[in-house]
Amino acid sequence: MDRHVEAFLEMLAAERGAARNTLAAYTLDLEDFAAFAAARGQAVAGADAAALQGYMAGLQGQGLSARTAARRLSALRQFHRFLLREGVRTDDPTSLLDTPRLPVVLPKYLTEAEVDALLEAAGRRAGRPGLVARAALEILYATGLRVSELLSLPRGALSSDAALLLVKGKGGRERMVPLSDAAKREAAALTADGPAGRWLFPGRDPKVPMTRQGFFALLKQVALEAGLDPMRVSPHVLRHSFASHMLARGADLRSLQMLLGHADIATTQIYTHVLAERLQRLVEAHHPLAKAGG
């Protein structure tokens, strides 16, 4: 691996707390570009603007999606900004590149009735799996946590006297999230039943947290018992449901950005379709001409 790429990845891990999957994706992206640059007789850290433009054009020719191309461009931009900051380069050739236009994809979310059905199905489950399902679903829907944030919660995170939950999210950014009484109650029941240890959701080995795969499997089972298509239910869908239902009931985008831990409010704006629907209902319910037309 090129030493500049290695230094960049070390910076992402040490300074930004990048997740293992993120580091793996950046490694593959940069190694792919390094091979392209080498074929043109250039080093990955010294490639010129023409090489970068040729690489991005080649991605489209390979039939890669706009989303994949945008991810690779993001990796290249961050890498070159790092080189500029470290004095390895005096320019940033990625500033001349256009970002691939991404299709607008609305977030998938459940209705409030479907979330209620999930919670009721979890409530009917017996034993330890039922406790885990109830606690996890109550916490996810009440807070909008990412699944990685949920499974890394320490055992005492939802103590009965806590009004707020301190969450460490992407890039090591911390945020405060209000706690519901139901979430605290289910967490208390879970810890009272489970083995002593560090994690609120321990795995089969209590020394490590529950795996994402294990939690996904449990969630799919609850979805089936709730009469829902398990393909429509995931931790991220519950996060989208939390956000969509909050906006539908009057929350503002800036508050939602803080609750979700988005670094940029532009990320939160994917939920504006909910605002549009709510505004349409308000106009239909309260505008004099709308009433007259009805």
Q: What is the pLDDT of residues 71-82, one digit of tens each?
A: 899 999 999 999
Residue 271 has a pLDDT of 79
Q: Do 171 and 18 meet the contact criterion of CB atoms below 8 Å apart?
A: yes
Choice among 55, 109, 141, 271 that is catalytic: 271
For residues 179-208, average pLDDT? 87
Model confidence at 278, pLDDT cuts 50, 70, 90, reads low
Choice among 80, 155, 184, 239 that is catalytic: 239
Q: Would the pTM count as exceeding 0.75?
A: no
Choice among 81, 170, 175, 185 that is catalytic: 170
Residue 118 has a pLDDT of 94
Residue 61 has a pLDDT of 79
Give the separation between CA 230 and CA 117, rounded to whole angstroms: 13
> For residue 189, is pLDDT > 60?
yes
Tell me which range, 112-116, 126-130, 160-164, is most confidently predicted by mean pLDDT.
112-116
Residue 105 has a pLDDT of 64
240 in catalytic set: no
Give the separation between CA 40 and CA 60, rounded to whole angstroms: 19
287 in catalytic set: no
> For residue 124, is pLDDT > 90?
yes
3-state secondary structure of 33: helix
* Cβ-based neighbours of 95, under 8 Å, separated by 6 or more: none
Q: Do 139 and 187 meet the contact criterion of CB atoms below 8 Å apart?
A: yes
> For residue 240, is pLDDT > 60?
yes
| Residue listed under structure tokens 């239902």 | 245
Domains and CATH numbers, the chain: 3-96 (1.10.150.130), 112-281 (1.10.443.10)
Choice among 80, 146, 155, 240 that is catalytic: 146
Choice among 72, 80, 155, 262 that is catalytic: 262
Half-sphere exposure of 224 (CA within 13 A, CB side): 6
DSSP letter for 178, please.
E
Q: Which percentage of the chain shows pLDDT scores above 90?
A: 48
Q: What is the pLDDT of residues 38-55, one digit of tens each?
A: 999 999 999 999 999 999
Sign of the Cα pseudo-torsion (181, 215, 17, 67, in order)? negative
> For residue 100, is pLDDT > 80?
no
Model confidence at 108, pLDDT cuts 50, 70, 90, reads confident
271 in catalytic set: yes
146 in catalytic set: yes
> For residue 294, is pLDDT > 60?
no
Give the separation between CA 221 and CA 261, rounded to whole angstroms: 29
